[in-house]
Amino acid sequence: MDRLIMLLATGFGLGRLPKAPGTWGSLAALPLQFFLLGLSELAYGLTLGGFIILAIFIAGSAEKILDRADPEVVVIDEVAGMLIALIAVPATPTAWLTAFILFRFFDILKPFPIRLIDRRCHGGLGIVLDDLLAGLYALGCIHLLIYSFPAIIGCN
């Protein structure tokens, strides 16, 4: 069971790549988003909610297996956060690239209250929650950009 947990926690090994595991983990969300696009809004929401709950469990379990707080190899939290950032974003390369850049920006910068949550919240919930918030920040920004500059974002 530990092997399966670590396989999922590391994004099928992407979190073990030597440079920028969070970036690789964020990219892992893109094929999942293609799957979600074909679902109804209800099925999309339920699937995303289920994935987030699973991510909290997997991240917390991986933390215990590795005996390390918020291990860098665990990237399922980045996948969950990136999926949040892509909610209702048109499937165009420019829109998804912009959402990806915004998510990584907020995930790395950790503006208030993300950094506070990252420091004070522990376990699986703490590992995932800061990425969900970074995803929400990116989601708000990408939709503002789509609304304000649809031609630039490739959504006209």
Write out the E strands in 21-102. Answer: none
Task: Work out the angle at residue 84's Cα, subtended by the Cα atoms of residues 17 and 151, and round it to the nearest 5 degrees.
Answer: 100
* Cβ count within 10 A of residue 152: 12
Q: Render pLDDT for 28-84 as a digit per residue (tens, 0 to 9).
A: 999 999 999 989 999 999 999 999 999 999 999 999 999 898 889 999 999 999 999
List of residues 6+ apart from 41 with CB closer than 8 A: none
Q: Render pLDDT for 107-148 as a digit per residue (tens, 0 to 9).
A: 999 999 989 988 898 999 999 999 999 999 999 999 999 999
Range of the domain at 116: 2-153
Considering its fold, how many domains does the chain have in total? 1
Q: What is the pTM of this model?
A: 0.94
Task: Work out the angle at residue 14's Cα, subtended by the Cα atoms of residues 8 and 106, and round it to the nearest 5 degrees.
Answer: 95
